[in-house]
Amino acid sequence: MIENLLTYIIFTPLVGALVVLLLPKSQSHLYRIVALVAMAVTLVLAIVAVTNFDTSVAGLTNSESQIQLTQKTEWFSIEMGDLGKFSVDYFVGVDGLNLSLLLLAAIVLFIGAISSWTVEHKKKGYFGLYLLLASSILGCFVALDFFLFYLFFEFMLLPMYFLIGIWGGPRREYAAIKFFLYTLVGSILILIVMIGLYNSVYDPFKTGVEAGIFEASVLPTEEMIIDVQQGVQNGAIDDADIVKSFNMISMADDANYLPYSILGRNSFGEIFGQSARWMAFLALLIGFAIKLPAFPFHTWLPDAHVEAPTPVSVVLAGILLKIGGYGIIRTAFSFFPDAAYHYSWLIGFFGLFSILYGAMNALAQKDLKKLIAYSSVSHMGFVLLGLAAMTVEGVTGAIYQMFSHGLISSMLFLIAGVIYDRTHDRGIENYGGLANQMPKYTVMVTIAFFASLGLPGFSGFIAELMVFIGAFKSYGVIGAIPYWMPIVATAGLVLGAGYYLWTLQRMFFGKFWVKDKAWKEHLTDLNLREYLMLVPLVVLILWFGIYPATLLDLIGNSVEGFTQLISESIQK
């Protein structure tokens, strides 16, 4: 089972989707049960993956020997004569860069399935699409073949478009189209770079087999791989024997780039008068920054969040945004570390701008969901700031921030959904003194707000602390971003406290008041289903705030290996 564990994780929700589609309409009450069971099994499998992960492995992110729980088999290949061989693998695996995000995805998707329990409109379509979306998300986090990754990345568009466009709010069509178009533009940029990388990178093992250097059945040693790489570099291996590759681990190793290929380290290729590698880096950065989202590519997010149903908002904020951050780490920074260093100041600046811009917009919002959406833009800015620092602490903080924000933002959108389910209104100024009417709900809101603003004891504090330590250390260690960036970024923490505390004061304290008197009888406190969604998130947010080593041990070695490769690349 362990050998195929990641495959089971990816396709369990897909099997659930097929079951939902095959169930007759007379059994419609089983749709939600199938979805919940499928996501519960997926969560258990993800926990098994975490418990079977060896944290002592060195974690170099450009070596397949450092990837764990791998499953690799040739999916299809095409002989292209003198152009070599076109090969695509089904290649999945985990290391410290993606394992925590795989666990996050399983947790949030399970919580989302519970949140979806009240869906009554077109249930078969909803739960089928939800499970299809779950498979696409999980596949994205574990795919290590760029072609496979791109398929999962693109396929997420379809279910998300319909989940917003059919089950969303009054302006759902506009929000769904805007989300689709923005993400599609980013996908096209990523596709262009993927094609360029494919024409620049080869698989040393398959090339060695094709050239007859060793048999396909042998387990290649590092020396054997080096022999193949040297043979390609000095022209000893014929072009017809070179097997080009979409392997993302191979793409992270400069030695696997064809001599003088357009994206190779020694290439003189230019696009619009700029280095082709730098342009490819910017295309990947923009493509994934749209998904993150970072300023100025963020404008689809508030509309999508406001119009999406609560479970979809939970998945969107909790997981989909993290695919943007993960994509930047796994592709842009890993493939083009020299370009990442060159543009580190720019990345840090846009991270800083996103922190402040998102926070100031949140401060001005009157809609609770929009406030939370803009807070997400602000918090994702910390991810960019941590990555721009290029230090172990900064990158660790960026990954921790993605994990922490996934839990906290899920909780924030759930609490927004609680009030919306009762009154169908999210206006902050339309409520007052809710603590008198809904004291247990108020406790949950207070915890979520304090966790999001980074209060010590919660996971958000650890994430932001690591980002700031890494950012302050950056200039002295690697010279990536200046000291003033993290100093100015601290203003985002003050603004965060401002919009959360102001919202808490206006909506929950003082004399009980609501805009419409008819709402009073509907404003009941939390029910069992809502407790089942919120309490586990509270426990996890506190656990990772008090015992951060639980997560740091998973990601530590891979982050050290990742930053080591960046440092070595910069020194070349």
Q: In this predicted model, what pLDDT tens digit does every residue of 8-26 receive, in sequence order?
A: 999 999 999 999 999 988 8
Provide the number of structural domains found in the chain. 1
In the three-class reduction of DSSP (H, G, I as helix; E, B as strand; rest coil), residue 89 is classed as strand
Q: In this predicted model, what pLDDT tens digit does every residue of 168-188 receive, in sequence order?
A: 888 889 999 999 999 999 999
Q: Given phi > 0 = left and psi -120 to 50 = alpha, else beta, which region is 273?
A: left
- Is 65 within a domain? no
In the three-class reduction of DSSP (H, G, I as helix; E, B as strand; rest coil), residue 432 is classed as strand
Alpha carbons 483 and 232: distance in angstroms, whole number: 43
Domain region containing 520: 343-572
C-alpha distance from residue 235 to each of 28, 228, 229, 265, 355 (Å): 63, 10, 10, 17, 50
- Read off the tokens for 307: 């119009």
- Is 151 within a domain? no
Alpha carbons 426 and 214: distance in angstroms, whole number: 65
Per-residue pLDDT, averaged over 265-281, amounts to: 79
Q: Which residues contact 527 (CB under 8 A, 6 or more apart)?
A: none
Give CA 347 to chain center in angstroms. Answer: 18
Q: In this predicted model, what pLDDT tens digit does every residue of 99-138 receive, in sequence order?
A: 999 999 999 999 999 999 988 888 999 999 999 999 999 9
- Is 100 within a domain? no
Averaged pLDDT score across all residues of the chain: 90
Alpha carbons 23 and 20: distance in angstroms, whole number: 5
- Is 184 within a domain? no
- Is 497 within a domain? yes
CB-neighbour burial class of residue 233 (10 A; exposed 0-12, middle 13-18, buried 19+): middle
Cβ atoms of residues 163 and 124 within 8 Å: no
- Is 102 within a domain? no
Q: In this predicted model, what pLDDT tens digit does every residue of 207-229 receive, in sequence order?
A: 888 877 877 777 777 788 888 88
Ranges 219-223, 424-428, 443-447, most confident? 443-447
Q: Residue 85: its pLDDT value, please?
A: 67
Share of the chain above pLDDT 90, in %: 62
Alpha carbons 355 and 28: distance in angstroms, whole number: 44
Q: Residue 302: its pLDDT value, please?
A: 87
Give CA 326 to chain center in angstroms. Answer: 5
Q: Given phi > 0 = left and psi -120 to 50 = alpha, else beta, which region is 238?
A: beta
Tell me the chain's radius of gyration from C-alpha atoms.
Answer: 24
Alpha carbons 47 and 255: distance in angstroms, whole number: 35
Per-residue pLDDT, averaged over 279-302, amounts to: 90
Q: In this predicted model, what pLDDT tens digit does every residue of 127-176 receive, in sequence order?
A: 999 999 999 999 999 999 999 999 999 999 899 999 999 998 888 899 99
CB-neighbour burial class of residue 323 (10 A; exposed 0-12, middle 13-18, buried 19+): buried
State the pLDDT confidence band at 411, using cuts at 50, 70 and 90.
very high
- Is 215 within a domain? no
- Is 154 within a domain? no
Single-letter code of the amino acid located at 385: L
